[in-house]
Amino acid sequence: MRRLALLLVAALLPALALAEPVASKAVTIVGWGGVSLKGAIIRVEKLDGTSMTVTLDPQGKVVVREVPLGILKVTIVSWKGVPVDYTVTVTSSNATVVCPKIGKLFVAVKGAAGQPIEGAEVKVLYEGKLVEAGTTDKGGSFTTYLPEAEYTVIAEYAGRRVSTTVKVPGSGTGKANLSVDVFMVVGGLPLTYTEVVGILIGLAVAVIVLFVIAYEYSAWRRKRLVKRVVARA
Q: Which amino acid is at 53?
A: T
**Position 18 pLDDT exceeds 70:** no
- Output the DSSP codes for the chain: -HHHHHHHHHHHHHHHHHHSEEEEEEEEEEEGGG-B-TT-EEEEEETTS-EEEEE--TTSEEEEEEEETT-EEEEEEEETTEEEEEEEEE-TT--EEEETTEEEEEEEEE-TTS-B-TT-EEEEEETTEEEEEEE--TTSEEEEEEESEEEEEEEEETTEEEEEEEEEPTTSEEEEEEE-S--EEETTEEE-HHHHHHHHHHHHHHHHHHHHHHHHHHHHHHHHHHHHHHHH-
CA distance 187 to 176: 29
What is residue 122's predicted lDDT score, i.e. its pLDDT? 98
Question: What digits encode the pLDDT tens for the residues 204-217?
Answer: 656 666 766 776 67
What is residue 104's predicted lDDT score, i.e. its pLDDT? 97
**Position 173 pLDDT exceeds 60:** yes
Provide the CA 192 distance to its chain's centre, in angstroms: 26
What is residue 12's predicted lDDT score, i.e. its pLDDT? 47
With cut-offs at 50, 70 and 90, classify the pLDDT of residue 202.
Answer: low
With cut-offs at 50, 70 and 90, classify the pLDDT of residue 196.
Answer: very low
What is residue 74's predicted lDDT score, i.e. its pLDDT? 94
**Position 1 pLDDT exceeds 60:** no
Question: What digits encode the pLDDT tens for the residues 94-150?
Answer: 788 999 999 999 999 999 889 999 999 999 999 999 999 999 999 999 999 999 999
Stretch 28-32: mean pLDDT: 92
What is residue 91's predicted lDDT score, i.e. its pLDDT? 87
**Position 197 pLDDT exceeds 70:** no
What is residue 26's predicted lDDT score, i.e. its pLDDT? 87
Mean pLDDT of the chain: 82
What is residue 221's predicted lDDT score, i.e. its pLDDT? 72
With cut-offs at 50, 70 and 90, classify the pLDDT of residue 191.
Answer: low
**Position 6 pLDDT exceeds 60:** no
Stretch 194-208: mean pLDDT: 57
Contacts of 190 (CB under 8 A, 6+ apart): 157, 158, 160, 182, 184
C-alpha distance from residue 114 to each of 110, 166, 187 (Å): 5, 20, 20
What is residue 95's predicted lDDT score, i.e. its pLDDT? 82
Provide the CA 168 distance to its chain's centre, in angstroms: 11
